Amino acid sequence: MLVCVNNLKGNFEFFNFENKSWHSSTLSPNLPQHRTLFGLQLFEHAYNDKKLSLYIFSGDSNCYAANKMFCFDLTYLSAQINSEKIDITEMSSIEKQKSNFTSVVFENKFLYTFGGEFVDNCVDECINMKSCERFDSEKNVWLKIKPMIVGRIQAAAVIYNDGCIYVAGGKNKDCEFEKTVERYDPKTNQWCKVATMNTARSNFALAVYKNRLWAIGGFGHSGSLATVESYNPIIDKYWKNETPLNQRRWDHAAIDYNDELIVVGGQEENDKCQF
């Protein structure tokens, strides 16, 4: 079953692949209704009979960054799909409120967040961050980890075959588009820079396909992008330009499915007011 969260309207939508239909259900009152730019990750808990949990965390709430995290147990999805409200459990909050960050799930146990921005209520200023955190889903505890080399928002992150996490692109503290790429090793808690992308971009998709990192589309100096490039961190010194997309897009998603690289959604317009 496919789950779609709309926090502007305060509801979940579920797509049932068996009957090919959508269903809606209202969120529990303890989840803030107005929240955008939030994190959304799915855990398959091997330690708990492969229980599926959907985590919603941080983001922007009423023009201020949020720090609360909520968890929905997908085990009860079928039973609650036609109910008026869905039970949401509040989890441990991240220490620093932020939005516009990127995140990954590691080993179906840890949730990592990278960069982002938060609003300083005292000076009403958006601050770009290098800070990174790790959430332990078994212990319900957040832990600060080593910060990134470059503070960035609207970046992309993915876990590669070497067990390291790669964070690429985005916009830096000067609101400039980034080409830089960093690799984080969860075993050593260390960052290092790797090959720089050919095109500076934010709001793009980063996926692993055929042992390569693929940076797809996004937003850059010229507006929305159709450019695509790939990189093998093990053997390559440089990123390789690939066949561009049929249409420009940003804020989209990409995934390796059935030995194909699938790109879906996003926007095409050069609307910089969205940033």
Q: Considering the entire predicted model, what is its pTM? A: 0.79
Q: What is the pLDDT of residue 29?
A: 46
Check residues 202 and 86 and name the one with the higher pLDDT: 202
pLDDT-derived band at 23 (thresholds 50, 70, 90) equals low
Q: Which two tokens stand for residue 12?
A: 């979940």
**Fold observed for domain 148-275:** Neuraminidase (2.120.10)
Percentage, residues of the chain above pLDDT 70: 65
Q: What is the pLDDT of residue 122?
A: 45
**Does the structure show a pLDDT above 50 at 58?**
yes
**Does the structure show a pLDDT above 80 at 124?**
no
Average pLDDT over the chain reads: 78
* Domain locations along the chain: 148-275
Q: What is the pLDDT of residue 43?
A: 60
Q: What is the pLDDT of residue 273?
A: 39
User: Is the torsion defined by CA of 177, 56, 90, 51 positive or negative?
Assistant: negative
- Mean pLDDT is lowest, of 32-41, 167-176, 197-206, for 32-41
**Does the structure show a pLDDT above 90 at 99?**
no
Mean pLDDT of 205-223: 95
Q: What is the pLDDT of residue 17?
A: 59
Q: What is the pLDDT of residue 47?
A: 47
Burial of 188 (0-12, 13-18, 19+ CB in 10 A): exposed
Best-predicted range by mean pLDDT (47-61, 80-94, 134-148): 134-148
**Does the structure show a pLDDT above 80 at 196?**
yes
When computed from its CA atoms, the radius of gyration of the chain, rounded to whole angstroms, is 18
How far is Cα 113 from Cα 198, in angstroms, rounded to an integer?
25
Q: What is the pLDDT of residue 200?
A: 98
Check residues 118 and 209 and name the one with the higher pLDDT: 209
Mean pLDDT of 101-130: 74
**Does the structure show a pLDDT above 80 at 189?**
yes
CB 133 within 8 A of CB 98: no
What's the CA dihedral at 130, 136, 139, 145 to 10 degrees? -30
Q: Give one word for 77, left, alpha or beta, with left for phi > 0 and alpha for psi -120 to 50.
A: alpha
User: How do residues 158-177 score in pLDDT, each as one tens digit?
Assistant: 999 999 999 999 999 888 99
**Does the structure show a pLDDT above 70 at 63?**
no
Q: What is the DSSP letter of 31?
A: S
How far is Cα 12 from Cα 146, in angstroms, rounded to an integer?
34
Q: What is the DSSP letter of 245?
A: P
| DSSP per position, 209-223 | ETTEEEEEEEEETTE
SS3 46: helix
Mean pLDDT of 96-124: 75
Integer CA distances (angstroms), 97 to 38, 129, 150, 172, in order: 11, 11, 19, 18
Half-sphere exposure of 117 (CA within 13 A, CB side): 23
SS3 74: helix
